[in-house]
Amino acid sequence: MHKKRLLSFVLSIFIILNSFVLVKASELTDIEGVDIPYMLYDLSADKTLIANKAAQPIAIASITKLMTVYLVYEALESGKIGLNTKYTYTQEELDLYLQGSDVPLERGATLNVDELMHLLLIRSANSSALALSKVVAGNEKIFVNMMNEKSKALGMKNTHFINCHGLPILSTDEQNMSTIDDLNILVKSLLEKFPQITKITSLQSYNIDRYGIKTVNTNTLLGLKTVDGLKTGTTTKAGRCLISTATEDMEGMEGKRRIVSYVFGATNDKERTNISANLINYGLDNYVYKRVLTGNETYKINLDTINFKYDKVLLKPTGSIEALLNTNETYNLKIEYKDVGVEAINKGDILGTVKLLIDNKLIEQVNLVANHDVERNNWFMRFWLKVKAKF
């Protein structure tokens, strides 16, 4: 009589992860009691790790320039403009100099798109944003329409732009508005489509010698671990804002994991920097993106040699398992084998699963399939082997 059975073998990877608990752990000390909007997001896993008031409408100040540069990158990609496309400063750009972050250029100064992008992202130059809007669209009004159209296309449902640089309208204090959730959509798309942006945002400084321009990056988090961007912003209404991003190597696979932190409404630069640093450290120290199953492993189920021509069937996973793991928690790989029955086994038959679990909660799984055919003995051979087994 054939009896159904479920065999389980649990392989703990706690020892592997426990080493990270000892080496990498850090705590969220700087955000305790802080009630401003912030978020920590893992781009590789598409997962929000920590969030507070991420859906709350906020003024975004010069974070606006990320949408501006997004449209510039699209124009470059389409061939509409080039990095060497020139723009000559007018009085309109110079008028922005007294209103906020900018560089001292005179009317008639000519810069190319590459230089304007560097000033935009490193010094947060408002005049560069205006100049780039004209290069791409002809005038700022058309460009702002493009910004709002792009935000809708990306799915940013609670975002509205009134200008290309983020300065408030002085008479009304009207400003560009968004949410962290919406900005995360923009940043994800920006980093995925145009990863070259970090070649600019990672620079500590940038100079244009022919005009005597020397700039220092406004992002004070550069130099912390692998931080390579992304953008600062400040207005009275927005407070001090910073979107930061950093990477680390994935484990057991090629590639880098990327995290992004968002901090809005900080009261001063120190608070903005400390909270951002705490989020980045926490994200890098407490999580690891790891391949826990390569897909090349071999498993086996022992077979009844009276019924089958072989004493075992070899199994292989149908794929790999990669996951973002919290190094403070215990994960298990649970391997479950199915009852093979009595009929012939065909290559590719699903005979088990490998499951990645945390606290018995399934995170991901792949099937185990037969790696080869296994024929069943004919009735005479089965009869003979049963008789033989009795003596």
The residue among 244, 20, 34, 202 whose CA lies nearest residue 118 is: 202
Q: Kindly report which listed range (19-23, 287-291, 299-303, 383-387) carries the lowest average pLDDT score.
A: 19-23
Is pLDDT at 3 greater than 60 in this prediction? Answer: no
Reported as a single tens digit per residue, the pLDDT across 206-218 is 999 999 999 999 9
Q: Determine the pLDDT at residue 219.
A: 97
pLDDT at 323: 93
For 304-311, what is the mean pLDDT?
A: 87
Pseudo-torsion of CA 380, 382, 385, 391, nearest 10°?
-90
What does the pLDDT average to over 383-390? 72
Report pLDDT for 153: 98
Decide: 290 and 252 in contact? Cβ < 8 Å. yes
Tell me what pLDDT residue 171 has: 86
Report pTM: 0.87
CA–CA distance, 188 with 230 (Å, rounded to integer): 12
Q: What percent of the chain has pLDDT over 90?
A: 77
Q: How confident is the model at residue 330 (pLDDT cuts 50, 70, 90)?
A: confident
Q: Which of 304, 367, 360 is nearest to 335 (CA)?
A: 367
Q: Region 288-315: what's the mean pLDDT?
A: 92
Most confident listed range (93-97, 284-288, 375-379): 284-288
pLDDT bin (cut points 50, 70, 90) of residue 14 is very low
Binned at pLDDT 50, 70 and 90, residue 99 comes out as confident
Mean pLDDT over 105-132 rounds to 96
Angstrom CA distances, 312 to 8, 68, 304, 353, 371, stand at: 17, 62, 8, 17, 11
Which positions ≥6 away from 391 have C-beta within 8 Å? none
- Tell which wins on pLDDT, 198 or 10: 198
> In this model, does residue 257 exceed pLDDT 70?
yes
Quick one: pLDDT at residue 6? 30
SS3 for 289? strand
Residue pLDDT, tens place only, 336-353? 999 998 899 999 999 999
Phi and psi (nearest 5°) for 115? -65, -40
pLDDT for residue 274: 95
- Residue 389 pLDDT greater than 70, yes or no: yes
pLDDT band at 239 (very low <50, low <70, confident <90, very high): very high
For residue 351, give both structure tokens: 């005979």
Residue 12 pLDDT > 50, yes or no? Answer: no
Question: Is residue 1's pLDDT more than 50?
Answer: no
pLDDT at 25: 57
Which ranges of the chain does DSSP label H, i.e. alpha helix? 14-24, 65-78, 91-95, 113-118, 126-137, 140-154, 180-193, 197-201, 269-285, 379-389
Mean pLDDT over all residues of the chain?
A: 90
pLDDT greater than 60 at residue 16: no
SS3 label, residue 116 = helix
Taking only the tens place, the pLDDT of each residue in 66-95 is 999 999 999 999 999 999 999 999 999 988
